[in-house]
Homo-oligomer: A and B are copies of this chain.
Amino acid sequence: MSDQAENVLNISNSWNAYHAQCPTRLMLNKIADKWTVLLLGLLEQETKRFSTLQRETGGISQKMLTQTLRSLERDGLIQRTVYASVPPRVEYSITPLGATLVAPLAAIRVWSEKHIEEVLAAQSAYDQVQNTAQQHPNVRKIVFK
């Protein structure tokens, strides 16, 4: 209604308030996953085996590796290929669809590396103010205007 700049982030506009099935929410939940982005990063360039992924992530449990890979496979973001050799060999690779997700994720990475210092500084400043405010419990240090 207003002639302000468009609200580019307003998910509720396109989806009538918060909706559990909002595409953005679905994807954010994926990305929010501790291992998803890391695995996509590892698979971005080359096909890799299960054990290789486990080693290169450095500490993921078998359960979570399997679970995350399944989820990514189900979403069509990675491809799983089984070779009927002995011992069995399974390889994972990124799909064309998965590859298109790399750029948006990289944007997040770039922002994070560029602004992390500001965020950490803000956190320190905030914490310091809170610690200074040893007033009545239940009362935060606040800013009047």
Contacts and interface: CB of A to CB of B under 8 A. Distances in A.
A28 to B, nearest CB: 6
Grouping DSSP codes into helix (H, G, I), strand (E, B) and loop, the A interface class, with mixed when no group exceeds half, is: helix
A65 interface: no
A114 to B, nearest CB: 9
A32 to B, nearest CB: 2
Nearest to A91: B145
B122 A26 contact: no
B24 A75 contact: no
A69 to B, nearest CB: 12
Given A9-B106, A97-B115, 11 more contacts: A18-B57, A23-B116, A24-B109, A26-B112, A28-B32, A28-B108, A31-B108, A74-B122, A101-B111, A104-B107, A107-B108
What 3 A-B pairs come out closest when comparing CB atoms? A32-B32, A76-B122, A9-B41
